[in-house]
Amino acid sequence: MARYNWIDGNDFSIRHFYLMDRWLLAMIFEHNGNKKKEEVSEHTVTLATLLKRHEDLIYVIKKRAPEATQGLDALLEHADDALKGDVLRKREINLMEAMETDVIYMEPEIMASQANYITAWEEKHLHDLVDVTDKVVLDLGAGTGRLTFAAAPKAKRVYASEPVDRLREYMRDKVKEQGIKNVKVQDGFVLDIPHEDDTFDVVMSGHVVGDHYEEEINEMIRVTKDGGMIVICNGDDDIKRKGPDKELTSRGFEAFYHESPIGGDIYNYTLKVNK
């Protein structure tokens, strides 16, 4: 079942994998391909079965994301040839809903209109954390541009860094349609930011830091000017949290709390960079 109910699985299928880029495919198949036999879930079997029936998709994945090959081959061993027809389609729908946080990247318009952490969020939460007026700003993992487009009216320039190409194109279309002159959309990862040291007055993100705290924060500090700010401004959801992220507060981040309009406990964070 879907965790967040952002999508209706009936509207999605394995064909959405054709739209996925190298970064996302590598992440999915490295994760799904390294499971022990006793850890294999129904969703893993369903994904393997669907892929096995789309040999052209297997070819595309291996060519687009060579690093996914080993995990993909391991995954395919779990295919069940007995799954067919309506039973397989029902399981495909359930799989799409279970993978909603991946497949929704392929439909940015749905993401922008259905993901609660975007729709329930208000721009004031960013501006309460940091003054971006006339600042050079970097938005890491920009997604559909929640933070980028909130900062743009005040900032000198905003660089929106996003590893998913469908999301980059969505932001570029929005920049063009709205005639925004101070936003540049680019590829990039939090662990390998494509900028020189001491470039930005403000480095901001939301729902990005957390897999490799030390490395991610150090890279963010590297590109931030002395006296600049790192801001983690999360979206609003309905999740009840017990408190701020201790991994962040232990590294000097100041935490700010507000209650989401849809009932969640939201913590945002700032760190002043001193070099």
Domains of the chain: 9-106 (no CATH), 117-272 (3.40.50.150)
Report the side by side order of strands in the sheet with 183-186. Answer: 183-186, 157-161, 136-140, 200-205, 224-232, 265-272, 254-259
On whether the CB atoms of residues 207 and 235 are closer than 8 A, the answer is yes
Q: Angle CA(117)–CA(243)–CA(248) in degrees, nearest 5? A: 85
Q: pTM value?
A: 0.92
Count CB atoms within 10 A of the CB of residue 17: 22
Band of pLDDT at residue 5, cut at 50, 70 and 90: confident
**What DSSP assignment string belongs to 21-77?**
-HHHHHHHHHHHTS--GGG--HHHHHHHHHHHT-HHHHHHHHHH-GGGHHHHHHHHT
Report pLDDT for 37: 64
Band of pLDDT at residue 61, cut at 50, 70 and 90: very high
Instruction: Report residue 268: phi and psi, to 5°.
Output: -115, 165
On whether the CB atoms of residues 184 and 200 are closer than 8 A, the answer is no
Does residue 227 have a pLDDT over 70? yes
Q: How far is CA 15 from the centre of its chain?
A: 20
- Closest by CA position to 159, among listed 134, 137, 192, 128: 137
What is the average per-residue pLDDT within 206-218? 95
Q: How far is CA 103 from the centre of its chain?
A: 11
pLDDT tens, position by position, 253-268: 999 999 999 999 999 9
Rounded to the nearest integer, the mean pLDDT of the chain is 95
The amino acid at 143: G
Q: What angle in degrees, to the nearest 10, is found between the helix axes of 85-98 and 42-52?
A: 120
Distance CA 88, CA 81 (A): 10
